[in-house]
Amino acid sequence: MESTDDEAKAAFYEKRRKWIDYICTRDHISDRAFRVGFWLARRMNGDDKRCWYTHKQIAKILGMSHDKVLRAITELEDDGVMVIVRDHRKANSYTIRMPYE
């Protein structure tokens, strides 16, 4: 069972690497959106393949305004490369998505 878990984690980390490479080449994704997406992707783990942060936390950690973070996340979501599950008054859940999935 542990081998299967390790393989699933390794597959996720490879997918994450490919995702980062992919969004690097998207000329219509702003530098701001890339920065937020990269930061979120690097915080996703192989166990649940997601991370949870509020916009306020992201803005503070990255030294960006709340509005810029909101626009960056919307840009990633609109481009279909990130799935955001919003939970009122709680941290959002972020998951990477390759556009061909």
- Residue 3: predicted pLDDT: 73
Question: Where along the chain do its domains lie?
Answer: 2-96
- Residue 101: predicted pLDDT: 63
Residue pair 68/59 in contact (Cβ under 8 Å)? The answer is yes
2, pLDDT greater than 70 = no
The CATH code of the domain at 2-96 is 1.10.10.10
Q: Is 52 left (phi over 0), alpha (psi -120 to 50) or beta?
A: beta
* Residues 37-67: tens digit of each pLDDT: 999 999 999 899 999 999 999 999 999 999 9
pTM of the model: 0.90
